[in-house]
Amino acid sequence: MLDPTLLRQQPAELAARLHATRGYLLDPAALASLESERKMVQVRTQELQASRNKLSGEIGKRKSKGEDVSDLMAQVSSFGDEQKRGETRLDEIKAEIEAIALGIPNLPNDSVPLGPDESGNVEQHRWGSPREFDFQVKDHVELGARNGWLDGETAAKLSGARFTVLRGGLARLHRALAQFMLDLHTEQHEYQETNVPLLVNADAMRGTGQLPKFEDDLFATHVGEGEAASKRYLIPTSEVPLTNIVRDEILEESALPLRMTAHSMCFRAEAGSAGRDTRGMIRQHQFEKVELVTIARPDQSYEEHERMTRCAEVVLESLGLPYRRMLLCTGDMGFSATKTYDLEVWLPSQGSYREISSCSNCEAFQARRMQARWRNPATGKPEPVHTLNGSGVAIGRAMIAVMENYQNADGSITVPEVLRRYMGGVETLV
């Protein structure tokens, strides 16, 4: 969430910035009214507590003298009832303010271009040249169907639409990509490999910004029965458990930057999505990704953002896949991000670049929600850390890109050289 000081002291200015950059409508008058009532109720409850303390002292004195205290007891009881009502209302007001705060997106960094949607994104650079084919290219669905290696029909029988069964060489290629990425990020990029739960609680989802705004895009399950039942969510990305590792923690400066990577299943309901991306493996309810997460000092987070994005680029360059880096505009960034780079890989069947990695700096937005802090040696006081996350990269989309860019006229697929040691030396999938 945003700095509470902005909500309390500058609601009108904040509303103007949010509308100009995010198209988000914040009602500053309603926020100011709640804040004014909060102050009034809080002052009154403090006054009541002080009065009760004073009366309690007087009651003690009278009792020691054997005097009647019934009138004072009645006043204490009256003050107590009013104080209890005030405390209840104070909790309600705080909950209303928190609900508003949790629904407000992050403010963009000054370097982010203004724009309403993806049309406002700005290309930063390109790497590699799209291959020129002397035969009619096939998409990944056609290539995968050749040996029954990519099977959506069987997956639909098992689970419904937007699931896929992989077999044979394609399943091995998928596994090889995950192993390659993990080795690259741990051995060369200094990320610590981490294995995380796929089910998390609501606090974890709230901490990284998935709740309450995006609950419709999540899969949830209930553990236990009756009053003891608790809700657990299937992770949409391992960013959620990785980032929440530092929830409610105070880190020492020596622990930063904390860089973590994880290969995990990811689950997304994809509520409302439709179109060509529902064909094949472009947009699935279940997919796999190698995630990168960094917890950083505020003065180092933008350097870490560039570093993280570069680590994802190295994956694509090592695979020989043409890509471009895009700086997302204000209208296309994710809810928690203050600045985002998307890496888009070339897909020959579509004749266009498609997103394969998104690397974001969230600054202190998630850290405030999680109470994740570091001890600043300059002040000796705990302060919010900055959190960053990125795909390093999406495994299914990387497999699609390899299939399409390395396809041959006979439908076989050449295995990129960096993957062959993970494929038992296989050079071609036939």
Residues serving a catalytic function are 268, 283, 355, 358, 397
Residue 78 marked in a binding site: no
Residues 6+ apart with CB under 8 A from 368: 1, 2, 3, 4, 384
Query: Cα–Cα distance between 180 and 190 in angstroms, integer?
Result: 15
- CB-based contact 260:237 (threshold 8 Å): no
Residue 270 marked in a binding site: yes
Q: Which amino acid is at 347?
A: L
∠ CA 196-202-205, nearest 5°, is 60
How do beta strands 258-267 and 373-376 pair?
unpaired
Residue 358 marked in a binding site: yes
Neighbours of 12 (CB within 10 A): 12
Residue 238 marked in a binding site: yes
- Write down how long the chain is: 430
Residue 132 marked in a binding site: no
Q: From the centroid of its chain, how far is CA 364?
A: 13
Residue 13 marked in a binding site: no
Residue 357 marked in a binding site: yes
Residue 291 marked in a binding site: yes
Residue 360 marked in a binding site: no
Residue 268 marked in a binding site: yes
CA dihedral for 8, 9, 15, 17, sign (positive or negative): negative
- Nearest by Cα to 147 from 165, 167, 161: 167
C-alpha distances (whole Å) from 145 to each of 148, 153, 160, 233, 412 are: 5, 11, 18, 33, 12
C-alpha distances (whole Å) from 215 to each of 1, 202, 232 are: 17, 10, 12
Q: From the centroid of its chain, how far is CA 116?
A: 21
Residue 356 marked in a binding site: yes
Residue stretches of the annotated binding site for ATP: 268-270, 355-358
Residue stretches of the annotated binding site: 237-239, 268-270, 291, 355-358, 389, 391
Residue stretches of the annotated binding site for L-serine: 237-239, 268, 291, 389, 391
